[in-house]
Amino acid sequence: MLRLRPGRQFSEVFLTHSPYSSTRETIYAKSGMVATSQPLAAQAGLFILKEGGNAVDAAIATAAALTVVEPTSNGIGGDAFALVWAEGRLHGLNGSGNSPALLGRDALPGGELPAHGWLPVTVPGAPRAWADLHARFGRLPFEQVLAPAIRYAREGYPLSPVLARNWARAARIYGARGGDYLGPWFETFMPSGFTPRAGALWASEGHARTLESIAASGAKSFYDGELAAQIDAHARATGGLLRAGDLAAHESEWVEPIKVSYRDHDVWEIPPNGHGIAALIGLGILEGLELPGTRDEVEGLHRQIEATKLGFADAHRYVADPRHADVPVRELLCPSYHARRRALIGEQALTPEAGDPHGGGTVYLSTADGEGNMVSFIQSNYMGFGSGVVVPGTGISLQNRGHNFNLEAGHPNEIAPGKRPYHTIIPGFLTRGDEPVGPFGVMGGFMQPQGHLQVVVNTLDYGMDPQMALDAPRWQWTGGKTIEVEHGLPVHVARELAARGHDIKVQHESGSFGRGQIIWRDEHGVLRGGTESRTDGQVAAY
């Protein structure tokens, strides 16, 4: 019998960390599916599908809702990327923004680029990405597509458990950091009487009004209207470099996705300035290696880790804004280059270095409809809430993507005005022959290419269904020979990896190992979806 101690409310007696392991099953459906990290956002997308919208409408509705119901990982002031299967082929959209025209080395105090405050803020690309996706592929009116997000913002919603923990952590960090620029953040996300815990209600009229303005104007107000003016005014008043001119100059870019072949499939990513190419290089290296018959064997994990390290070394050396630097994409994806990199893998862990190809706090969602359209979509403010800068009265929390610029003179990703930084958020997509298999992604900063590689290997080498592929224990390379592994990895395997020279760190918290979603479609049109068990994720389908 449930008993309340004197003075405690009913809602305070429930545990928010389960003491028991739980198992999720893959979800099957036929007519439509949405998979993302927050159940209310998944339901927003499903609602739009049932209203007659297609997979693109559902993706936009889900993405807009996520800015409200998971602001700990993304926001209206963030960037977005998408891979869309429609009209018989795959389309790519780069919705990342430039650095301000006023940003340069002379703007950096002490020659350093901080992670928070105004200096790392770049132009938000998400609202225009929504509008551009809708203009090209959407079916329902844009205002109808954004309506669920507006309703969540205005009427409020209860926080889910992982969301609440991340929110409370951000409040502690920002409270300890201090700074005048954080005042609007606390007014928006920690209003009087609100404590971030599971079940607590939060609403934001500022978010609602901003989303209504974006919906009514097709995002024009954000880049050349009332919202742009508010962002400009706040920047000028508080020492920011972002200006209305930076916003007005922003455009999304339709791009040709890049790919490698792996185990009779093609794995697709968005080209640089994103680092999805790191996952493709790693898979290209693995394509020429045989992996053991079961997943948790040291030889297979060792080879995956080494291939990943080599892919990252190349990404860190070459990935940049291709409008400002020569990024050798074709050479980095060449099988002969992968063969040379593969030859570096031995029995012992290596310290990775970039090769010479010329010589030879993110949210992710997947959607699918019954007509064959599928979307892989990712959106982020970068570090949790982003820069910590919030435009008063708007709910616009600005990203801190500029922190990924390199300060090394002459580096392809060197800090400069009007330039897109190295970007960590990457949507993935899998095809076989000329047919789509489906969208997938694993969000989480520099974990993302590593998560992509592990999900693909789990699926194509070890035959795991979507939920199994996501639930399997993960590892991540963090630099040098250091590998963090989840506590679910068998102890003897961790010991054998250490014997090969890997510096193994066992982590008992899973927050840094990414959060993924998968939707696969089979030859009969049946959709199979998996969602991240490390967070509040849900697959909504019918």
Q: 């790392």: which residue's tokens?
A: 120
Please state the separation of Cα 512 from the chain's center in Å.
Answer: 13
Q: One of 67, 210, 308, 362 is an active-site residue; which one?
A: 362
375 bridge partner residues: 84, 367
Q: Is 362 a catalytic residue?
A: yes
Gyration radius of the chain's alpha carbons: 22
Pick the closest to residue 267 from 436, 87, 86, 517 (CA basis): 436
Supply angle C-alpha 512, 161, 489, rounded to 5: 35
**DSSP state for residue 81 in the 8-state scheme:** E
Give the integer Cα–Cα distance in Å for 378 and 468: 22
Give the integer Cα–Cα distance in Å for 483 and 481: 6
Q: What is the DSSP string of 141-152?
A: -HHHHHHHHHHH
**Which residues neighbour 177 within 8 Å (Cβ) at sequence distance 6 or greater?**
116, 388
Supply 407's token pair: 């300060």
- Percent helix, strand and coil across the chain, each to the nearest 5: 40, 20, 40
**Kind and range of the H or E run holding 326:** none
Beta strands, E only, 225-288: 253-255, 258-262, 265-269
Residues tagged active-site:
362
